[in-house]
Amino acid sequence: MKAIFLGFFLAAATSATAFAGTPGEVEVGGYLPEATLQGISGNSKKFSDYRGKPLIINVWASWCGPCRAEMGSLERLYRRYGGKQFNVIGISTDDDGDAAAAFIKQSKTTFENYLDSKVFLENMLGANMLPLTVLVDANGRVLEKVRGAREWDSPEFVEAIGKTFHIKLPR
């Protein structure tokens, strides 16, 4: 499974093993522990609320240029597939929740976003570089980590996401 995704992305992405870990990081193949996600708009959820469907987690910050650049493609991916075949969420590492909220509003992002100003989730997910996108299966197991901005709604990435999650995604 990892080989499928990495095989496709070798030219575009750097393998997760090339980076030093973060404190408490869940490695590829490990399961996300339960954690509370503090909604930027105030609503909270837990990782377990997303079990039952694959999950794409994007770790970003409002001050991060590459994060800002890829947000539109994540939004388009979410609007096309989100909630049906898989879920998409964002986790902002901003210290200032107002800055994160302002960026979400300005970018017209509609998928759920959470604030991690205390770097707990950032460390758990291994976000030693932003943006970081983590693909998690329906049972909470981390399947892949992709560092750097990507065009997530491109046909190539949609195909790779489908293969990683073992689901057929309509074009």
The CATH number for 48's domain is 3.40.30.10
| Mean pLDDT within 150-162 | 96
Does residue 155 lie in a domain region?
Answer: yes
Task: Flag whether 147 is in a domain.
Answer: yes
Tell me: pLDDT of 33 over 50: yes
Residue 26, in any domain of the structure: no
* Element housing 70 (H / E): helix 65-81
* pLDDT tops 50 at residue 8: no
pLDDT at residue 68 in the model: 97
Q: Report the pLDDT averaged over residues 11-15.
A: 41
Q: How far apart are CA 145 and CA 149, in angstroms?
A: 12
The pLDDT score that the predictor gives to residue 82 is 82
Question: Is it the case that residue 60 has pLDDT exceeding 50?
Answer: yes
Per the prediction, the chain carries an average pLDDT of: 89
Is 145 domain-assigned?
yes
Confidence of residue 19 (pLDDT cuts 50, 70, 90): low
- Residue 94 in any domain: the answer is yes
Decide if 91 contacts 121 (C-beta within 8 A).
Answer: yes
* pLDDT of 18 strictly over 90: no
Domain span at 84: 2-15+33-165
Instruction: Give yes or no for a contact between 87 and 54, defined as CB atoms under 8 angstroms apart.
Output: yes
The residue type found at 133 is T
Q: Which residues contact 9 (CB under 8 A, 6 or more apart)?
A: 146, 160
pLDDT of residue 24 exceeding 90: no
Calculate mean pLDDT across residues 97-111.
96
Tell me what pLDDT residue 11 has: 38
Is 44 among the domain residues? Answer: yes
pLDDT of residue 17: 43
Mean pLDDT of 142-169: 96
Please state the rounded mean pLDDT for residues 120-125.
95
Q: Domain count of the chain?
A: 1
Q: Does the pLDDT of residue 29 top 80, yes or no?
A: yes
For residue 56, being part of any structural domain is answered with yes
Q: How far apart are CA 38 and CA 45, in angstroms?
A: 7
Handedness of CA 155, 160, 161, 163 (dihedral sign): positive
End-to-end CA distance of the chain: 21
Q: Compute φ and ψ for 147, nearest 5 degrees.
A: -100, 140
The full 3-state SS of 106-165, as one line of letters, equals: HHCCCCCEEECCCCHHHHHHCCCCCCEEEEECCCCEEEEEEECCCCCCCHHHHHHHHHHH
